[in-house]
Amino acid sequence: MDAMLLEQPRKPLVLREVPIPTCGPRQIRVRVAACGVCRTDLHIVDGELPRPKLPLVLGHEIIGVVEEAGVDAHRFSIGDSVGIPWLGETDNVCRYCRSGRENLCDVARFTGYDIDGGYAQQTVANEAYCYAVPSEYSAEHAAPLMCAGLIGYRSLKFTGDAQRVGIYGFGASAHIITQVARWQGRRIYAFTRPGDLAGQTFAKTLGAVWAGDSTGPPPDELDAAVIFAPVGDLVPVALRYVGKGGAVVCGGIHMSDIPSFPYELLWGERSIRSVANLTREDAVEFLALAPLVPVKTDVTEYPLARANEAIADVRAGKLRGAAVLLP
């Protein structure tokens, strides 16, 4: 089969012909129909996330069709449409797993990082960490739900009952979660790269009540903020505009260093927290919710061989919504 391989960090992916993967116990083999390009993929390519499996097939926003089931794999039938996300396996016995925090498991393994992912024509996955795809979605439009949607949903949950929510970095996650937040009756304030008028217009079409540069103040005090942009400088900026008791939620797996800031920005019971990975409970909740909103994903499609171009376009912020590879 064809696969785009990361053979060395900070180098372009290479198109290779590799053996079709085989199923182990409790695994399913999936013919990939679509795989989203996530900003986490950029961090892996750029060497900002250390020690990936090499050579590596990236990709953890996978939608495909089950073609084979291994020993003791009984959840899905041949021909079922399934989604495969970032969280690939956990030990199920540690204190984190036993307390509903499997996203923090010390020996967790992740799709497209420890386990070969979806930048390929086929992949295998532990069936316990795969999900039925809502029938309302085509493969290319479902793919961004598997990470941009799931991580965005977990990030939004950590804002509690905040009504005025700022979102910094209006990319794939933001364009999904804005729709969820508006459906919940919240007010979204979108912060984009300076001068990104197209991005600000896009945010408003999705229901944001205001959109502007990340360097400037919103028109109203925020109850909470979610930062999807991997820019540590935005943390004290967001704190400045969040009211007392509010939270600043950092939704990315990697962020540049947070600069020092005066304690007065944190005082008043404000908080900063990160979001690490996702849980299976998040996936079940969000994939049931998405068709009700209904969440509509805006995607730009690329053939598998143009994965490097897709990565470059995501890095440059050229896209509305999400990039999706079609093997």
Whether residue 244 lies inside any domain: the answer is yes
Question: Is 169 in the same domain as 124?
Answer: no
Reported in sequence order, the residue ranges of the chain that DSSP labels E, i.e. its strands, are: 2-6, 14-17, 27-37, 56-57, 62-69, 81-84, 87-89, 109-110, 122-126, 131-132, 164-168, 187-192, 210-213, 222-227, 242-250, 271-274, 299-303, 322-326
Look at residue 36 in the predicted model and tell me its pLDDT: 98
Question: Is 252 in the same domain as 135?
Answer: no
CA-to-CA distance for 204 and 176, rounded, in angstroms? Answer: 13
Question: Is 234 in the same domain as 248?
Answer: yes
Whether residue 285 lies inside any domain: the answer is no
Look at residue 10 in the predicted model and tell me its pLDDT: 95
| Exposure string for 179-217, b = 16+ CB within 10 A, e = fewer | bbbbeeebbbbbbbeeebeebbebbeebebbbbbebeee
Question: Is 190 in the same domain as 301?
Answer: no
Question: Is 320 in the same domain as 218?
Answer: no
268-274 long-range CB contacts below 8 Å, 24 or more apart?
Answer: 268/243, 268/244, 269/244, 269/245, 270/239, 270/242, 270/244, 270/245, 270/246, 271/246, 271/247, 272/235, 272/239, 272/247, 272/248, 273/158, 273/247, 273/248, 273/249, 274/249, 274/250
Whether residue 135 lies inside any domain: the answer is yes
Question: Is 125 in the same domain as 237?
Answer: no
CA-to-CA distance for 231 and 251, rounded, in angstroms? Answer: 11
Whether residue 249 lies inside any domain: the answer is yes
Domain CATH code at residue 18: 3.90.180.10
End-to-end CA distance of the chain: 10
* Residues with Cβ within 8 Å of residue 247, at least 6 apart in sequence: 158, 159, 160, 162, 224, 225, 270, 271, 272, 273
Whether residue 289 lies inside any domain: the answer is no
The structural domain count of the chain equals 2
Range of the domain at 249: 150-274
Whether residue 280 lies inside any domain: the answer is no
Look at residue 80 in the predicted model and tell me its pLDDT: 98
Computed from CA positions of residues 247, 143, 79, 120, in that sequence, does the dihedral angle turn out positive or negative?
negative
Nearest CA-CA partner of 44 in 4, 78, 102, 101: 4
pLDDT less than 50: residues of the chain: none
Query: Does residue 122 contact residue 1 with C-beta atoms inside 8 Å?
Result: yes
Q: pLDDT tens digit string along 269-299?
A: 999 999 999 999 999 999 999 999 999 999 9
Question: Is 165 in the same domain as 210?
Answer: yes
Question: Is 80 in the same domain as 174?
Answer: no
Q: pLDDT tens digit string along 212-266?
A: 999 889 999 999 999 999 999 999 999 999 999 999 999 999 999 999 999 999 9
Question: Is 59 in the same domain as 134?
Answer: yes
Look at residue 315 in the predicted model and tell me its pLDDT: 93
Question: Is 117 in the same domain as 198?
Answer: no
Computed from CA positions of residues 221, 215, 246, 154, in that sequence, does the dihedral angle turn out positive or negative?
positive
Look at residue 127 in the predicted model and tell me its pLDDT: 98
Question: Is 136 in the same domain as 164?
Answer: no
Of 230, 245, 274, which residue constitutes the final position of a domain? 274
pTM of the model: 0.95
Whether residue 113 lies inside any domain: the answer is yes
Whether residue 174 lies inside any domain: the answer is yes
Domain CATH code at residue 173: 3.40.50.720
Question: Is 175 in the same domain as 111?
Answer: no
